[in-house]
Each structure stands twice: as C-alpha cells, then as structure tokens.
Amino acid sequence: MSDVPTGLDVRLRAMTLEDVPRVHEIDVLSFSLPWPERSYRFEVSQNPNASCWVAEAPAPAGVVGMIVNWIILDEIHIATIAVHPAYRRLGIARRLLAHGLLAGYERGGRLAYLEVRVSNTAAQAMYARFGFTVDGLRPRYYQDNFEDALLMTLNPIDPARLRELQPG
C-alpha cells in the first residue's frame, strides 16, 4: 500500500477474472472503441504474453484503473491503460505505467512502445514525462473516426527512472 497525494490509498495488484466487469466499465467510460469484456478475460486467463494490473482504492471505490501490456521478447507493447474519470490527475496512471514497465523489464522487456490518438494530449504528456518519444505516425489507425495514431517509444527502459516515477 502507498499513498497518493489526496490521501487515497491505492494499491497495485495483478488483474483477476473477478476484476473484468469493473475494468470493462472503466474501459467504456474511457475509450470510444472499448474492448469487449471477453478480450480482458482472454488477456487475464489465456495470453501468456500479457501482463495485466489494476489500481485498487479502498471500498466503495474498488478498482479505479488498469493497464494491459504485452511482452514479446525484449519489447513491451502498452496495449491499454485507463483510469476511471472520477480518479484522474491523482497520479494513478503514472504509478500503473511505472509498475507495468518495471514488471515487463523483469520479464526481459528493454524497450516499450504504444499507439496514441493525435488528439489525446493528456496521455501524450504522461508518456513524454516517462521519456517516450514520437517515433512515427500510423495514418487513419482508429476505426471510429479514422484518426491518426502517434507511435511513441521508450528505448531503452531505465528501471532506476521508473522507480523514481513509481511512488504515490
């Protein structure tokens, strides 16, 4: 357990199948193209390359954020990360990202990458804070509005820097 500045006690732990309905709720509140619930069930229970974490606050809040990473050889692909709208700007995504990247590093990940909407300046600011840089553009990547995706990469991963970003 560690504190975030508001005094809200948030702990990070591995996602379980029981978390999936709540995680899906947060996904729907956060993305215009949410994953179906079955995708989360697959990641948690069947994908050996997945690394899935949640941020949990004391009841009644419960799970307030999640991250799913795919670790393939030395690459960590950040597949999704979101925080419930009522719990944003409290440092929860920063902690999830630092934790997820460190967990991936322990499994051999040495670089990380992700796609982010060009309009999603909040997420881009967070990734920039971690040292991610824009590496390319995937034109018309998103199927709802054909928005472009920026490809952002962190290479190499510096575990000491991630540990600095981890505390609440």
Ligand X SMILES: CC(C)(COP(=O)(O)OP(=O)(O)OC[C@H]1O[C@@H](n2cnc3c(N)ncnc32)[C@H](O)[C@@H]1OP(=O)(O)O)[C@@H](O)C(=O)NCCC(=O)NCCS
Q: Is 1 in the site for ligand X (CB under 6 A)?
A: no
40 is catalytic: no
Q: Does 153 bind ligand X (CB under 6 A)?
A: no
Which member of 120, 147, 155, 161 binds ligand X (CB under 6 A)?
Answer: 120
Residues 19 and 50: their CA atoms lie apart, in Å, by 16
Q: Pattern 66-95, binding to ligand X, x per CB under 6 A?
A: ---------------xxx----xxxxxxx-
Minimum CB separation from ligand X for residue 143, in Å?
15
The residues near 62 (Cβ < 8 Å, ≥ 6 apart) are 22, 56
Under the criterion CB under 6 A, does residue 63 sit at the interface with ligand X?
no
Report if residue 168 touches ligand X, rule: CB under 6 A.
no
In 3D, which of 41, 24, 103, 94 has the Cα closest to residue 70? 103
DSSP category for residue 47: -
- Residue of 115, 141, 142, 147 marked active site: 115
- Residue 12 contacts ligand X per CB under 6 A: no
Give the residue from 42, 51, 75, 92 showing the smallest Cα distance to 157: 75
**Is the four-CA dihedral 163, 11, 55, 103 of positive or negative sign?**
positive
Using rule CB under 6 A, residue 126 touches ligand X: yes
Query: Which residues does residue 56 pair with via DSSP β-bridges, in sequence order?
Result: 11, 63
CA angle 62, 120, 16 (to 5 degrees): 30
- The burial class, CB within 10 Å (0-12 / 13-18 / 19+), for 7 is exposed
Verify binding: residue 24, ligand X, rule CB under 6 A: no
Binders of ligand X among 28-57, rule CB under 6 A?
Answer: 30-31
Q: Is 115 annotated as catalytic?
A: yes
Closest distance between ligand X and the C-beta of residue 65, in Å? 6
Q: Supply the residues annotated as catalytic.
A: 115, 127
Residues that bind ligand X (CB under 6 A): 30-31, 81-83, 88-94, 114, 116, 120, 122-123, 125-126, 129
